[in-house]
Structure 1
Amino acid sequence: MNPENNHTHQSLERSLNEFVAAETDFPFGPEVLVYKVKGKMFALLSEREGRKYINLKCQPEDGEVLTAQFDAITPGYHMNKRHWVTVYLDGDVEKGMLDDLCEQSYRLVVKTLRKADRETLSL
């Protein structure tokens, strides 16, 4: 395994916590850590069949390309499969790419917020 691909929940949590107004919640139980901005989910960290993963929002066309290009990216597990992808942390997605996907997810969700809420974020 390439060390560049070695992601941990802890390193992802640190990165996700840096987003402006990021909040955490456990609405689906103690094993599923959800990240929200202004009450809207942009990331979900969990484990499935012994593999840690993160669900991230994406544009449908980006999701199609990503799932075709990377073995570790699948349509969103337990999510809208057109608008979410699941990225397994032990796979072929480098850390820089995963960081970009997290930022894209955050920005996509911010774009859907009410104007007043977006303005309070000062992005």
Structure 2
Amino acid sequence: MDGETVQAIAAERALELPGSVLTHPFGDEADVYKVHGKMFALLTYVHGEPVVNLKARPEDSYALREAYADITPGWHMNKKHWISLHGGGSLDEEFVRDLVTESYLLVVAGLPKRDRPVDPDTFGQG
């Protein structure tokens, strides 16, 4: 799938997640999805190419970059904790949706329990 489609899928999934809010703190050229004020997804363009930045566990970040040509270290982010998704064909819709959800849950897990819109350990089960 192309980069525009990757962004569209990521945006759709981000808005489905409880407490997710679309913001534009960097201007209209970047869509930033936050939960309780913390970013979990950045959709922007890098040198004209659509890119989706997502949070990832460091061990997962490395493994994903090794396994998928369309996943690179997070553009303009901490390379250990963020990944960038690109168009190109190695990612499918369900996988993109899963990566967005995982990014969201990582951020939610870091929130104080009183501020969590969901339980990150059980969200999506059952």
**Structure 1 regions of 5+ residues with no counterpart?**
none
Higher relative contact order (CA 8 A, sep 6+): 2
> Greater shift after overlay, 45-54 or 103-112?
45-54
| Structure 2 letter corresponding to 1:108 | L
Residue number among 47, 50, 59 corresponding to 1:49 in the alignment = 47
* Corresponding residue of 1:95: 93
> Greater shift after overlay, 65-74 or 90-99?
90-99
TM-score by length of 1: 0.88
Work out whether residues 19 and 35 of structure 2, in 8 Å CA contact, stay in contact via their aligned partners in 1: yes
CA change 1:72–1:122 in 2 (3 A) is: closer
Q: Distance in 1 between matches of 2:7 and 2:59?
A: 27
TM-score by length of 2: 0.86
Work out whether residues 22 and 37 of structure 1, in 8 Å CA contact, stay in contact via their aligned partners in 2: yes
Q: Paired residues, what number?
A: 117
Work out whether residues 54 and 89 of structure 1, in 8 Å CA contact, stay in contact via their aligned partners in 2: no
Q: Distance in 2 between matches of 1:8 and 1:57?
A: 16
Which string of whole-angstrom CA distances, capped at 9 and with x for unpartnered residues, describes residues 21-61 of structure 1? 00111111110100000000000001112211100000001
| Structure 1 letter corresponding to 2:77 | M
Q: Distance in 2 between matches of 1:65 and 1:8?
A: 20
* Corresponding residue of 1:33: 31
Alignment of 1:12-31 (within 5 A): 12-31=10-29
CA change 1:56–1:122 in 2 (3 A) is: closer
Work out whether residues 22 and 35 of structure 1, in 8 Å CA contact, stay in contact via their aligned partners in 2: yes
Deviation at 1:8, TM superposition (A): 4.6
Residue 81 of structure 2 is aligned to residue 83 of structure 1: yes
Q: Percent identity?
A: 39
